[in-house]
Amino acid sequence: MTADDEDDEGPPKLPGGKFYMTPAGRQRLETERADLRTARHRVVEIVAWAASNGDRSENADYKEGKRRLREIDRRLRFLINRIAHAEVVDPAAQTQRDRVFFGATVTYANERDEEATVTIVGVDEADMGAGTIGIGAPVALALLGRQRGDEVTVRTPRGPEVLEILAIRYPER
């Protein structure tokens, strides 16, 4: 088994064997897959042209094209497996809105009375700069299933930290 094969075994799964993703997250992966397929066709044409020029051993266009094809194929395999194993969950369809579940936007305060607001999304969608955290993140795992007013303890590099849930929101339908 090569390192490339390890990337293709499927996504990391949460307890229960689920791999969650929002509809928007799935659409981003589908768009990337379509873009890569288009790019692959262009690279195949370049490689075919470069191969027709003769000696491939010293043909930089051929070598670079083959390297790029391997990169594209590796990413395509990854995306196909990601999409195939995903369970798409629409947070707007959540009926139990008083508890933290996948897709919830949660405002919490830490022990220093600093407030933070995060939205729990799939691991491929996480972006702290945009205020989203992956469902497998320690904060997300601590918040899941809890409700407003609950206090949860999260392990951080500085040690355990207590967070109080101040608000829970879900997108409207």
Q: Could you tell me what percent of the chain has a pLDDT over 90?
A: 68
Confidence check: pLDDT of 42 > 70: yes
Instruction: Return the exposure string of 148-159: e unless at least 16 CB atoms fall within 10 Å of the residue's CB, then b.
Output: eebebebeeeee
- All structural domains of the chain, each given as residue ranges with its CATH number in brackets, are 19-88 (1.10.287.180), 91-169 (3.10.50.30)
User: In this structure, are residues 116 and 110 in contact, taking their beta carbons and an 8 Å threshold?
Assistant: yes
Task: Determine which helix (DSSP H) or strand (DSSP E) holds 12, and give its type and residue range.
Answer: none
Least confident of 24-28, 57-61, 92-96, 114-118: 57-61
pLDDT score of 17: 60
Helix, coil or strand: residue 14: coil
Instruction: Please give the structure tokens belonging to residue 103.
Output: 């897709």
Percent of the chain with pLDDT over 70: 90
The Cα 107–Cα 118 span in angstroms is 7
